[in-house]
Amino acid sequence: VLGLATGSTPIGAYKQLAAWYEKGDVDFAEVSTYNLDEIAVFRTTIPQSYHYFMRENFFDHINIDLNNTHVPDGSNPDAAAACSEYDKIVAAAGYPDLQLLGIGNNGHIGFNEPDDHFSKGTHCVDLTESTISQQPACSTASMIAPSGLHHGHQTIMYARMILVVANGEAKAQAVHDMCYWPGYARVPRFVLQLHTNCVVVADEAALSLCE
């Protein structure tokens, strides 16, 4: 059971996995996936949706059964119902064995923006300017309300292992703070410091503030 993420950072991992599949080294026939988040108010088939992103960058290149792939339903006008439904299916799957995570420039994970409390299950949030500027999708006219559906901290922490990927200087402060800043007691975006099996894979630029 894999928890997957979108954004530009995981694309290399998806390409590598597809290459290993082509070579016959990995098999996705028994894999199920649960994506972390989705932009709200997008139809799932349009290019800006995370549904579309996942097919384009990963699912269409491997032997996964599309019925076993799951992304929150950003097209449901009743976002609360879509979130609650998504929570049920992730729980029924027993939560991810491995959760892949990117990190936003401001340290957000999924769409969990800097805040003063932990979030629980899947919920809908208004996106910050910083996050919107990182989404090419959000600049299109098809997005009426910049909001997103995503796993809360609790759901993320249920994963047996978390793999965070980060590239580039713009992520350096976020990566440093995620690993070392002692703010987790009151600022939840640092919650990953508390996970017992969290690995960070980053390039030198993203690690430049970590000693």
Q: Name the residues that contact ligand GLP, by CB under 6 A.
A: 5-9, 36-37, 102-104, 110-111, 131, 134
For the chain, helix, strand, coil in percent to 5 are 35, 15, 45
In whole angstroms, the minimum distance from the beta carbon of 6 to ligand GLP comes to 6
Q: Is residue 113 annotated as part of the catalytic site, yes or no?
A: yes
134 or 147, CB closer to ligand GLP? 134
Decide: 83 and 72 in contact? Cβ < 8 Å.
yes
27 or 169, CB closer to ligand GLP? 169
Choosing from 38, 73, 87, 113, which is the catalytic residue? 113
Return the residue matching tokens 């894979």: 201
In whole angstroms, the minimum distance from the beta carbon of 167 to ligand GLP comes to 8
Decide: 119 and 158 in contact? Cβ < 8 Å.
no
18 or 166, CB closer to ligand GLP? 166
In whole angstroms, the minimum distance from the beta carbon of 12 to ligand GLP comes to 10
Maximum separation of any 2 CA atoms in the chain, in Å: 47
22 or 192, CB closer to ligand GLP? 192
Residue 37, classed as helix, strand or coil, is strand
In whole angstroms, the minimum distance from the beta carbon of 30 to ligand GLP comes to 25
Choosing from 35, 37, 57, 177, which is the catalytic residue? 37
How far is Cα 75 from Cα 48, in angstroms, rounded to an integer?
A: 12
Q: Is residue 76 annotated as part of the catalytic site, yes or no?
A: no
In whole angstroms, the minimum distance from the beta carbon of 110 to ligand GLP comes to 5
Return the residue matching tokens 């119902």: 81
52 or 111, CB closer to ligand GLP? 111
Q: Beta 123-126 vs 147-150: how paired, if at all?
A: antiparallel
Q: Is residue 112 annotated as part of the catalytic site, yes or no?
A: no
Q: Would you state the torsion angle of the CA atoms of residues 10, 14, 19, 21, taken in this order, to the nearest 10 degrees? A: 140
- Within its chain, how far is the Cα of 102 from the centroid? 6
Q: Is residue 68 annotated as part of the catalytic site, yes or no?
A: no
Choosing from 108, 123, 151, 153, which is the catalytic residue? 108
Active site residues: 37, 106, 108, 113
